[in-house]
């Protein structure tokens, strides 16, 4: 089959399978990302291995799918920045910060040490620890809304802590990616690297705060073309992504996340969220999530099942204990702290993005990558079960109106498809 025709058929197949799986996942009470990952595993070498079928076996197809998935990642993190509410971080204050800090530090440290005990290199172990720092609060938010607890003390803290957790995770990822590059071992190289990162963040933030809204308003007034503002925002997010990796020596997604965070402080936030969700979730993001499954191969885990179980247990226990300890230090009761900890357990898109960066950069192999995908699936599955056991069910009615404005954009606005 002609490669162009094969590409069209493959993309249609991936998007259709993604949306059907997302719908089915929602119907059984799981987030869309769970279904999208699962169908990716089924389509990948774990079960069907569609990329090995004669019609889809060309290397050019794999390259194009990978490139489209990378665009999906950049768009996803820009949307994450747009959905980050700095005001929410200020409202929940110390409890959310402590919960997020504990939920980042403990998984990172224990995950790294456990990986070393199983023979992984320090670079691999650091990446595993970085993956375990992530939190995806979408499933927690949906479950809390069903229980009528989204605006409770614990619910608000979980949402705020997840925002801070994302920011901390991006910082950790940026440092890990920067220092894992070849030739960064010397003190001079490290000093230059830190200065370059600081210069990028300083200049990019200053430009965003000072000029981004003015320039976008100028485009809105003077450029007579369809969707000119949207096109300009896409130019900005791509430029920030490029500059982050080319000049700041951090991951491209850090730049796109920063661009989204800066645009979130402007009057264009809601318009961009509406427009870019259509582009992202309609095409690019499903391709990214399915491609994660296509890259994973659970068949290779036969000899690593002990390590797989350990990683999953560490992922659940360290996030729960770390976030709960942070809440407890903020004068939460033991039960309130436990609820906050459980609400932070679920991993999601950020964990998958970090894992995919580790795989594409050669820091981790496909076996470790597959373990990270399975860990994400399991933590996503157990979180609502634990939350329903810990929270008393209340009348969910008052939670529904305006719930989308709570926390990181609210459940309908989350990044899971």
Whether 71 shows a pLDDT value over 70: the answer reads: yes
CA–CA dist 293, 18 (Å, integer): 11
pLDDT value at residue 298: 83
pLDDT value at residue 19: 95
CA max distance for the chain? 65
Alpha helices by DSSP H, 264-365: 269-279, 285-295, 305-329, 334-343, 349-360
CA–CA dist 385, 33 (Å, integer): 17
3-176+283-413: which CATH architecture? Up-down Bundle (1.20)
Where do we find the tokens 């569609």? Answer: 50
Mean pLDDT of 344-367: 86
Please give the torsion angle defined by the CA atoms of residues 139, 144, 150 and 152, in that order, rounded to the nearest 10 degrees: -130
H/E stretch holding 119: none
| The two three-digit tokens of residue 301, written as one number | 């885990």
Beta carbons of 319 and 132 less than 8 angstroms apart:
yes
- From 134-143, 180-189, 241-250, 400-409, the region with the lowest mean pLDDT: 400-409
| The two three-digit tokens of residue 209, written as one number | 């705060």
**Conformation bin of residue 80: beta by default, left when phi > 0, alpha when psi is -120 to 50:** alpha
Determine how many CB atoms are found less than 10 A away from the CB of residue 139.
Answer: 28
Q: DSSP string of 48-91?
A: T-GGGSGGG--HHHHHHHHHHHHHHHHHHHHHHHHH--HHHHHH
Beta carbons of 36 and 290 less than 8 angstroms apart:
yes
Determine how many CB atoms are found less than 10 A away from the CB of residue 155.
Answer: 26
pLDDT value at residue 394: 54
Alpha helices by DSSP H, 330-402: 334-343, 349-360, 366-390
Q: What are the tens digits of pLDDT across the range 88-122?
A: 666 667 888 999 999 999 999 999 999 999 999 99
- From 18-27, 155-164, 313-322, the region with the lowest mean pLDDT: 155-164
Domain ranges of the chain: 3-176+283-413
Mean pLDDT of 9-20: 95
Length of the chain: 417
Mean pLDDT of 322-344: 94
In terms of average pLDDT, the best of 51-60, 73-82, 210-219 is: 210-219
| The two three-digit tokens of residue 161, written as one number | 């802590």
Q: What are the tens digits of pLDDT across the range 26-40?
A: 888 777 878 888 898
pLDDT value at residue 188: 52
């Amino acid at each position: 089959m002609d490669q162009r025709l094969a590409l069209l058929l493959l993309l249609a197949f991936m998007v259709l399978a993604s949306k059907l799986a997302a719908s089915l996942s929602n119907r059984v009470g799981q987030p869309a990302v769970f279904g999208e990952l699962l169908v990716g595993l089924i389509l990948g070498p774990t079960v069907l291995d569609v990329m090995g079928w004669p019609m889809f076996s060309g290397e050019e197809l794999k390259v194009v799918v990978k490139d489209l998935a990378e665009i999906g990642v950049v768009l996803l993190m820009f949307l994450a920045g747009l959905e980050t509410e700095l005001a929410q971080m200020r409202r929940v204050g110390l409890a959310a910060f402590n919960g997020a800090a504990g939920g980042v530090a403990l998984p990172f440290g224990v995950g790294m040490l456990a990986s070393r005990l199983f023979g992984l290199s320090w670079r691999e172990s650091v990446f595993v620890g970085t993956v375990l720092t992530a939190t995806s609060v979408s499933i927690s938010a949906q479950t809390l809304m069903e229980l009528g607890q989204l605006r409770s003390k614990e619910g608000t803290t979980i949402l705020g802590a997840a925002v801070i957790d994302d920011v901390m995770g991006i910082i950790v990822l940026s440092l890990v990616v920067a220092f894992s590059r070849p030739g960064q071992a010397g003190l001079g190289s490290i000093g230059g690297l830190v200065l370059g990162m600081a210069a990028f963040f300083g200049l990019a933030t200053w430009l965003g705060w000072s000029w981004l809204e003015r320039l976008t308003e100028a485009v809105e007034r003077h450029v007579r073309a369809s969707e000119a503002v949207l096109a300009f925002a896409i130019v900005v997010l791509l430029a920030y992504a490029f500059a982050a990796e080319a000049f700041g020596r951090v991951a491209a997604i850090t730049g796109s996340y920063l661009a989204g965070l800066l645009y979130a402080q402007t009057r264009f936030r809601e318009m961009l969220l509406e427009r870019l969700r259509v582009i992202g979730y309609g095409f690019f993001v499903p391709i990214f999530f399915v491609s994660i499954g296509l890259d994973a191969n659970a068949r290779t885990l036969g000899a690593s099942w002990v390590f797989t179980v350990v990683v999953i247990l560490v992922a659940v226990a360290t996030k729960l204990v770390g976030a709960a300890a942070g809440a407890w230090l903020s004068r939460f009761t033991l039960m309130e702290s436990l609820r906050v900890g459980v609400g932070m357990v679920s991993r999601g898109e950020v964990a998958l993005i970090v894992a995919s960066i580790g795989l594409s950069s050669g820091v981790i192999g496909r076996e470790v990558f597959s373990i990270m995908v399975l860990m994400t699936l399991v933590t996503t599955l157990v979180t609502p079960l634990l939350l329903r056991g810990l929270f008393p069910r209340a009348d969910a009615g008052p939670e529904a109106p305006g719930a989308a404005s709570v926390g990181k954009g609210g459940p309908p606005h989350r990044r899971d498809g």
